[in-house]
Structure 1
């Protein structure tokens, strides 16, 4: 165990020798001093891990010493010790960011608990986290190897995310490799489950199915609509469940989570298909058949621009779905945020917007971040892995107009539903494919005619109508990569693979892309 050094300042330090000896027996080095001035001198010349500071000392008081100490060593943890329980003294110490507060007479175990909580907590938490995960590892593995349904799969995925975030918070992340292997194994089994189940979900009215994209508003939003009581529906594009759990920590200061649920994105897990399906309440084949002028053929072009270009009719789709659901009397507004200025305008116009019964907001930042990470070496450096990507998403959220908008909602006592259209996965392994110029550019799914590909690690849909997808000619087919695979063309194969390996993509089948959050919040 690491040897920690403690500085203890008290004008009656001789009376504290039994406690100092006790800490020494527990493996801590304690340096005793008689005053605040001596404590500051010791800190100038030596390195300490923790300071015990008596509040009532002649000369420099404990609070005065604390103020000087924090100016020079702001990250050094301090435990304030006092005989007084006066509220203003406690508030002054806590306001100066002390690590703990002890009241005399002291108890040896009380002191030890405080020291361990501050100095050893990270190690103790890591040991406990690793032990608890090891205990659940086998149980999870056995669970996903059985024949289970969509609810059980969602539960497994949420547990995996819980442990991934817990392990990520430990100093050494010593169980990270085991966690990644288990996630990979779970994904392989989940993909088999989707291959076996998806066609029934689309075609069998009585099939046991999850909420899918085209059911989302009807099931999770419309039941909460009330005239004169605004409901904010916020769709953050490309937001995975783990990213939601990270930004949730900030939102709980302003909102209570009334319901944290999930739904399954339709295939392909892309903006152009899944989000159009959400707002229209229809499967893509139904959109194309019923509203051919509003459905844009997903072929050719640049992937970053083509997807958003295919989502220009969401407001019309939403209005039509409200009418079909006999909610035509609901007053609604729709807002798409593609840059920071649009986000700021949304905040500035809050009072006007909030007069509607339904306020639908689409925020596109996370999807743009995933594309930027593919194209920018600097963004890759900032987000080299899952943990870094979550951190970057959280950093954006903390400083975004979206958080300002949500704070405004909380101030007004508003209600919010937050969701997304699909997730994404960090791709690692290529699958060769050959197609003509009409084939779309997405790396996780392809649609077209005369596609030639390796049939391992893909889900093939030769009858698009069976998946609720448009069919553009007689030999149209859709092919989806599974787990963490991505499509690569044989031409310039090695360059292509090296460029796209380890980037975040969506469109295929994985836990991360398919099972996504839908959360109901109420202002505190």
Structure 2
């Protein structure tokens, strides 16, 4: 351990000699002084790792000294020591961002604990996290082999995400690399699981909540005549991104329920989100509402009629509710809704589709600066959190809390960082998505895909008699042989959706009540 320099400020410093000797035996270097004025002068001329500061001293008070020290050295941790247990002193000290607060008389071990907690917190947490993950690694490896139900896959994915977010804070490259390899293996096994079971989910009762059953099974039971409900569908929100913004929301809302549900295939907006609002699978939408449904090869926007689909579903279910629908695709439209949100308080249900995260993933593909800002999953989470903290959506959520809304947050599908190309050949009518293809005469690497040659069997539309669907597994993306190298370098390490991965298919649904 490098020598740690402590400044201890107390007008009765001579009485603390045993404490100082104890620390010096532990290889800490301790400077002392007896007034706030002297402390400020010492901090001006010396660099200290930590300051122990008595609150009650003659001359300038401990709180005044704290303020001056923080002005000089904002990053130096200060531990306040006081005889007083008055609440206002604690609040003042905490408001001034002290590192710790101790009540006299203090014993040497209290001081040592405060030092370790303040200065060695990162190292101790890192060592403990690494040790815990090493113990968990073998259990996860065994679970990967044994996992054989959608419930078990949800739990395993949540466990992987927990460790990913724990490890990202300790900067242990070796541990992070091991976890990444476990995620790759998990996605490989998950792809096989989906290929084996996806068709069965439409034939029997043992199936997860999916896009087309989400509204009926999870949203409608939460609606109440007494409490207005705000349903927010954040496009493209992965489970880890939900976890990155959850803490911000918890300031205003308390979570009462959280569960994962499964996006349908393709895990793409025009399929999954239309399924949420219609309560139907794509082939059913095509059959029942041909004027509202558009296939991949049709011209124009594919999600233009979500409100109409939702209206039809509400009518079909016989729900007697007042409701409204809003889609936000720009900062301007977000601000406009925030300014007028109070007008929604008399609705039983207000539905808000927010498109920012989808725009972020597309921008990463097209803009070098976003590629730099979201170079990996950790950065992608951080960028999502930063956006959310400064977005009109947070303003809307804050207003919803003040107006007593129940809040439901969910998404239509996730995304995966597409890292490896898989060659595919199709005709001019083949769809353009990088994680799934639909069309005639598709040629592909069989091991890389889940192929569905009869789309109607999983309620997908067939553009023509010989159409099929293929879905990329893991972190693959489809690339055409023509101009292959340019295509691969352009799309490698971009966030894509449409295929089969834990990140795309297992997605969050959370219910929260206003604090």
Q: Normalization by structure 1: what TM-score? A: 0.96
- Kindly indicate whether the alpha-carbon contact (under 8 Å) linking 1:300 and 1:441 is maintained by their aligned counterparts in 2: no
SS in structure 1 at match of 2:503: helix
Q: Does 1:389 align with 2:380?
A: yes
Report what 1:359 is aligned to.
Answer: 350
Distance 1:3 1:134 in 2: 31
Distance 2:340 2:415 in 1: 32
Q: How big is each residue's C-alpha offset from its partner over 1:34-70, in whole Å with a ceiling of 9 and x where there is no partner? A: 2222222222222111111111222222111111111
Distance 1:284 1:410 in 2: 35
Q: 1:309-324 alignment to 2 at 5 Å?
A: 309-324=301-316
Distance 2:427 2:161 in 1: 39
Distance 1:84 1:511 in 2: 54
Q: Does 1:221 align with 2:219?
A: yes
Query: Deviation at 1:265?
Result: 0.3
Distance 2:105 2:223 in 1: 58
Query: Deviation at 1:14?
Result: 2.1
Distance 1:193 1:181 in 2: 18
Report what 1:211 is aligned to.
Answer: 209
Q: Does 1:10 align with 2:15?
A: no
Query: Deviation at 1:147?
Result: 4.7
SS in structure 2 at match of 1:297: coil
Q: 1:87-106 alignment to 2 at 5 Å?
A: 87-106=87-106
Q: Which runs of 4+ in 1 moved over 4 A?
A: none
Q: How big is each residue's C-alpha offset from its partner over 1:255-284, in whole Å with a ceiling of 9 and x where there is no partner? A: 111101011000000000000111000000
Q: How big is each residue's C-alpha offset from its partner over 1:200-225, in whole Å with a ceiling of 9 and x where there is no partner? A: 112x133x110111000000111122
- Kindly indicate whether the alpha-carbon contact (under 8 Å) linking 1:234 and 1:362 is maintained by their aligned counterparts in 2: yes
Q: Does 1:333 align with 2:324?
A: yes
Distance 2:175 2:4 in 1: 26
Query: Deviation at 1:339?
Result: 0.6
Report what 2:476 is aligned to.
Answer: 485
Q: Does 1:141 align with 2:141?
A: yes
Query: Deviation at 1:27?
Result: 2.9
Q: How big is each residue's C-alpha offset from its partner over 1:133-187, in whole Å with a ceiling of 9 and x where there is no partner? A: 1111111111121152000100000111111111112244551111111111111
Q: 1:33-44 alignment to 2 at 5 Å?
A: 33-44=33-44
Report what 1:255 is aligned to.
Answer: 253
- Change in Cα spacing, 1:171 to 1:53, as seen in structure 2 (3 Å) is farther
- Kindly indicate whether the alpha-carbon contact (under 8 Å) linking 2:44 and 2:72 is maintained by their aligned counterparts in 1: no
Report what 2:265 is aligned to.
Answer: 267
Distance 2:172 2:485 in 1: 34
Distance 1:515 1:312 in 2: 25
Report what 1:467 is aligned to.
Answer: 458
Distance 1:226 1:362 in 2: 21
Correspondence for 2:414 among 406, 423, 439: 423
Q: How big is each residue's C-alpha offset from its partner over 1:452-473, in whole Å with a ceiling of 9 and x where there is no partner? A: 2222211111111122100111
- Kindly indicate whether the alpha-carbon contact (under 8 Å) linking 2:254 and 2:513 is maintained by their aligned counterparts in 1: yes
Query: Deviation at 1:197?
Result: 0.2
Distance 1:313 1:224 in 2: 24
Distance 1:68 1:300 in 2: 67
- Kindly indicate whether the alpha-carbon contact (under 8 Å) linking 2:345 and 2:403 is maintained by their aligned counterparts in 1: no
Q: 1:80-229 alignment to 2 at 5 Å?
A: 80-172=80-172, 174-202=174-202, 204-206=203-205, 208-227=206-225, 229=227
Q: Normalization by structure 2: what TM-score? A: 0.98
Correspondence for 1:413 among 404, 407, 425: 404
Query: Deviation at 1:244?
Result: 0.4
Correspondence for 2:448 among 431, 451, 457: 457
Unaligned runs of 5+ in 1: none
Report what 2:503 is aligned to.
Answer: 512
State which drifts further: 27-36 or 434-443.
Answer: 27-36
Query: Deviation at 1:26?
Result: 2.2
Unaligned runs of 5+ in 2: none
SS in structure 1 at match of 2:447: coil
- Kindly indicate whether the alpha-carbon contact (under 8 Å) linking 1:167 and 1:173 is maintained by their aligned counterparts in 2: no
Distance 1:113 1:228 in 2: 50
Query: Deviation at 1:295?
Result: 0.9
Distance 1:241 1:490 in 2: 34
- Kindly indicate whether the alpha-carbon contact (under 8 Å) linking 2:147 and 2:153 is maintained by their aligned counterparts in 1: no
Distance 1:131 1:47 in 2: 33
Query: Deviation at 1:324?
Result: 1.2
What RMSD, in angstroms, separates the aligned Cα atoms of the two structures? 1.4
Report what 2:431 is aligned to.
Answer: 440
Distance 2:149 2:494 in 1: 30
Query: Deviation at 1:12?
Result: 1.9
Distance 2:245 2:506 in 1: 18
Query: Deviation at 1:15?
Result: 1.9
Q: Does 1:368 align with 2:359?
A: yes
